[in-house]
């Protein structure tokens, strides 16, 4: 289970040094605004974009926001078809519990992920099995957290999997030394000898 924060003020949350494995924010904020997607990705590692009806300039939003003032459930199928055709993965509908029937009816047979908002601390959303689905549940809001973001639990490990870690930087001799460490040797002792030889 992972934790995700979502906010419409990603710069403010970043400046607070608050971190979670995943940050979600609105697609319209990362082009021509206070922060770019590349800057957020450097700070957070994994950033998800939400289409709230104010544009998706990069065409990378994998989440559609279904709530009053954003999109309606009937907007979701056309959005899904467009993003799917563009090669965007992990297409997800964000909505509250009361909207799920309308979302499901509108989406028909399309296979999509669900991010369901409760905002009351509830993580189990029937009829899903507790702790395993839907993809994510938004359980706490800014009032409970004390800063301008909402917190979700990511329940499905295959939804928006963490990106592979980049290889550790460093001189070639460090990488060679680490490659020589085997399970059968005392790794710390061998590594200490190799490091001492290069000082």
More confidently predicted of 190 and 158: 158
Q: Where are the domains of the chain?
A: 2-154, 167-199
3 state SS of 6: strand
Q: Confidence class of residue 162 from pLDDT cuts 50, 70 and 90?
A: confident
Phi, psi (rounded to 5 degrees) for 136: -150, 155
pLDDT digits (tens, 9 = 90+) for 50-99: 999 999 999 999 999 999 989 999 999 999 999 999 999 999 999 999 99
Say whether domain 2-154 belongs to CATH 3.40.50.2300.
no
CA-CA-CA-CA dihedral for 71, 76, 82, 83, to nearest 10:
90
Q: Pairing relation of β-strands 136-140 and 113-117?
A: parallel
pLDDT given for residue 135 in this prediction:
97
The set of residues, in sequence order, having a beta carbon less than 8 Å from that of 55 and lying 6+ positions away, is: 27, 28
The first and second tokens of residue 107, run together, are 């989406």
pLDDT given for residue 31 in this prediction:
85
Please state the rounded mean pLDDT for residues 19-26.
94
Looking at the DSSP assignment, which residues form a beta bridge with residue 50? 26, 63
Whether this prediction's pTM lies above 0.85 is answered by no
**In contact, 64 and 75? CB cutoff 8 Å:** yes
């Amino acid at each position: 289970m992972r934790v995700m924060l979502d906010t419409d003020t990603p710069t403010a949350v970043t400046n607070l040094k608050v971190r979670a494995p995943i940050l979600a924010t609105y697609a319209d904020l990362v082009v021509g605004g206070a922060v770019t997607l590349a800057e957020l990705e450097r700070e957070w590692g994994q950033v998800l974009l939400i289409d709230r009806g104010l544009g998706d300039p990069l065409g990378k939003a994998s989440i559609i926001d279904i709530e009053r003032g954003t999109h309606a459930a009937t907007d979701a199928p056309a959005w899904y078809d467009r993003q799917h055709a563009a090669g965007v993965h992990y297409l997800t509908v964000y909505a509250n519990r009361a909207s799920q029937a309308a979302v499901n009816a509108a989406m028909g047979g399309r296979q999509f992920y669900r991010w369901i908002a409760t905002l009351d601390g509830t993580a189990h959303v029937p009829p899903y099995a507790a702790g395993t689905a839907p993809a994510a549940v938004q359980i706490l809001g800014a009032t409970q957290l004390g800063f301008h973001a909402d917190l979700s639990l990511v329940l499905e490990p295959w939804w928006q999997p963490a990106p592979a870690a980049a290889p550790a930087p460093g001189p070639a001799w460090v990488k060679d030394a680490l490659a020589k460490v085997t399970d059968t040797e005392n790794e710390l002792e061998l590594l200490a000898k190799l490091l001492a030889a290069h000082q």
